[in-house]
Amino acid sequence: MNFQIMDGDQVTLSGRTGAGKSTILKLLLGLYEPQSGEVLIHGVPAFQIPQESRRKLFGYVEQSFHMVPGTVRDQITLYDNRISDEQVRAVAEL
């Protein structure tokens, strides 16, 4: 498989169960290291990108809902204290 996603693009992965959607996402997030080939994000292997940097690159929406403990602020910031209240409000308004 070969594809390129440009900055600002929004991509949806869809397909039947077992088609590889979750595997592709985990490769992009650097959670899996490919057994062959490569997954590059801005020219860097995805699994080498620090988690903090990955959070700035990707957004993810599951197709099913699960209750997660914490406040709305916690969910928006993922417990990153560097994100200001003003930034949280702006995101919540979106």
C-alpha to C-alpha distance for 81 and 18, rounded to whole angstroms:
37
- Which of 7-11, 39-43, 60-64 has the largest mean confidence? 39-43
Q: Is the domain of 48 the same as that of 3?
A: yes
C-alpha to C-alpha distance for 20 and 34, rounded to whole angstroms:
13
Domain with 72 in it = 64-94
Instruction: Answer yes or no: pTM beyond 0.85.
Output: no
C-alpha to C-alpha distance for 48 and 41, rounded to whole angstroms:
10
SS3 43: coil
Number of compact structural domains in the chain: 2
DSSP secondary structure letter of residue 41: E
Q: Is the domain of 33 the same as that of 72?
A: no
Give 24's Cβ-side CA count (13 Å radius).
Answer: 15
In terms of Cα–Cα distance, which of 61, 65, 68, 67 is closest to 14? 61
- Per-residue pLDDT at 31 exceeds 80: yes
Q: Is the domain of 40 the same as that of 72?
A: no
Q: Is the domain of 80 the same as that of 55?
A: no
